[in-house]
Structure 1
Amino acid sequence: MVVKKKKEIQVTALTVCHQDLETLRTLADVERENLASLLLHCVQLTDGVSQIRYVKQIVPLLEKADKNGMCDPTIRSCLDILAGIYLSLSIKNPLKKVLASSLNCLPEFFLTEAIQSFTSRLQKELNTTDLYSYRKVIDNISSCMENFKLGITSVNNLLENVLYFLQKSLIEITEENRKFAGNHIVQTQLMNDLLVGIRVSVMLVQKVQGLQRINSNISSSPTWQSMCELLSIFTKFLSDDDLLRTIQSTSGLAVILFIKAMFHPPEKIPDLFASLFCGLHERPGVVCALLQESLLC
């Protein structure tokens, strides 16, 4: 009998930038009892598993401060640093989920400050112009929507920016993919980034309340315009044979969900589909197959 060895879970230690580290050192109290002291001790550890224990102490410590009715500058700064820590962690790092789970229990007294911090930090992420950093930002948008109250609120607050970022990133990743035609290693990564970007767009329209039934009367708004641009991108992907079939089928799902969210009444949707795919009339069988495949996803 062969006994399979359990796969060890890798927990990469969380870190902070030099500026945040200096802030924590400045704010840590002599008694080492405030939140800054806790975070400072946590980030100085090199073992991610050990850090989990300290992350779980954040909310109990804040609950004590809540009883005193205090949200002093030290706590505000620490909440901002926590937002930075969360966004810096890899989506596969268990610490990210542990931190999100802890912050979901944040006392209501601190929610406004925490939301402001997360929104501000996420905005900085969305401003990146480095194409090879797009995947990290896309992953952060995804993780923010995964049972994380502060995250989903921040995404809602930055909805226009998030939609524009997804639009920009999908266009630029597609262009980069064309440049590296024949380089299978680079293209594999870019195609994967493209697929994840489409999936996050799908998640966005499913989970963000403001997009589930967007009012067509605001067709001049940036949100509506970005959704139209994304819809156009997904439609082009459907007929691009240079892309992986999974990208095409996921794009089909995105088209369906975006149309359901954007157009009312539902009775008009079949006519819209007909006009939307008029440019693909030469290959109706392929489109129908992809749409059918999308519905099964």
Structure 2
Amino acid sequence: MGVKKKKEMQVAALTICHQDLETLKSFADVEGKNLASLLLHCVQLTDGVSQIHYIKQIVPLLEKADKNGMCDPTIQSCLDILAGIYLSLSLKNPLKKVLASSLNSLPDFFLPEAMHRFTSRLQEELNTTDLYSYRKVTDNISSCMENFNLGRASVNNLLKNVLHFLQKSLIEILEENRKCAGNHIIQTQLMNDLLVGIRVSMMLVQKVQDFQGNLWKTSDSPIWQNMCGLLSIFTKVLSDDDLLQTVQSTSGLAIILFIKTMFHPSEKIPHLCAASFSGLHQCPRVVYEQLQEPLLW
């Protein structure tokens, strides 16, 4: 009886765009010892497992730098490229977690610059208008909230825009699903994207610290308005029998979570939940009006 060989771990290698590659080449030092050189060696590899070794060297290298490194254009550019790398990696790629884990140990004096770079790159992601890229952006929002300090801070910084993106993406996915009626392959993908979008919306409410306060609970607050928009979408999804039951039931949970987060005192929540399932006629006037506004589908 033959002995089975242990299956080697397969990790898709990370890549960067031509512009970022040229940036690394321009900043790499002759000795090959600075951060740009390290990243350049990393991205030129075609084996993801080998790249893990280089990613784990990022923070130890930065720990050797002093506080003046904050103004070093090489480090600033590398932090920007690292943000781009993180957001380009798929959710299932182990390199994404390795990079997040490494950057969680970034020296404190580099955090403001790193946060600025990650926030800028995430905003670029949120600006996408390609419906079939929405899932990648939604996955990135989700991964940023999972044990990744820079990612969570970036989402917090862009909370209004993140909520707006989720609202826009869910509306467009629902419209595309309606247009693709009968095309079961595409509809299956869209249903899955819809489900993920709803779940990520719930994750935000549960994990973003801003929602624990009351400053956003005014009718002119962009966050409040986006929350109302999402609540309206969840309600429509719940009542749409053409959607999968899993999507509908998840929307029901989202409605309860959003109402619990948005309204006080808590004694009124059962009444508001009942209202949500019977036309929302008992909601406060400002919410009722916003929930009654026609959506784009």
Q: TM-score under structure 1 normalisation?
A: 0.90
How far apart, CA to CA, are the structure 2 residues paired with 1:6 and 1:280? 58
1:279 Cα deviation from its structure 2 partner: 2.5
Q: Paired residue for 2:156?
A: 156
1:10 Cα deviation from its structure 2 partner: 2.8
Q: Paired residue for 2:285?
A: none
1:252 Cα deviation from its structure 2 partner: 1.1
Q: One-letter code of the match for 1:111?
A: L
How far apart, CA to CA, are the structure 1 residues paired with 2:100 and 2:113? 16
Give the 5 Å matches for 1:1-297.
Answer: 9-66=9-66, 69-71=68-70, 72-215=72-215, 217-279=217-279
1:10·1:93 contact (CA, 8 Å) conserved in 2? no
Residues 199-208 or 210-219, more deviating: 210-219
Q: One-letter code of the match for 2:82?
A: L
1:239·1:280 contact (CA, 8 Å) conserved in 2? no
How far apart, CA to CA, are the structure 1 residues paired with 2:4 and 2:258? 45
Instruction: Rate the CA distance shift 1:44–1:138 in 2: closer, same or farther, 3 A.
Output: same
Q: One-letter code of the match for 1:24?
A: L
Q: CA RMSD in A?
A: 1.9
How far apart, CA to CA, are the structure 2 residues paired with 1:258 and 1:86? 30
Gaps of 5+ in 1: 282-297
CA deviations over 1:199-244 (Å, ceiling 9, x no partner): 1001110100112344464221111000000001111111111111
Q: One-letter code of the match for 1:70?
A: G
How far apart, CA to CA, are the structure 2 residues paired with 1:11 and 1:41? 17
How far apart, CA to CA, are the structure 2 residues paired with 1:205 and 1:57? 35
1:135 Cα deviation from its structure 2 partner: 0.4
**After TM superposition, what 4+ stretches of structure 1 lie above 3 angstroms from structure 2?**
1-9, 212-217
Instruction: Rate the CA distance shift 1:264–1:2 in 2: closer, same or farther, 3 A.
Output: farther
How far apart, CA to CA, are the structure 2 residues paired with 1:94 and 1:39? 17
Q: TM-score under structure 2 normalisation?
A: 0.90
How far apart, CA to CA, are the structure 1 residues paired with 2:240 and 2:59? 49
1:3 Cα deviation from its structure 2 partner: 9.2
Percent of aligned positions with the same letter in both sequences?
A: 80
How far apart, CA to CA, are the structure 1 residues paired with 2:165 and 2:5? 42
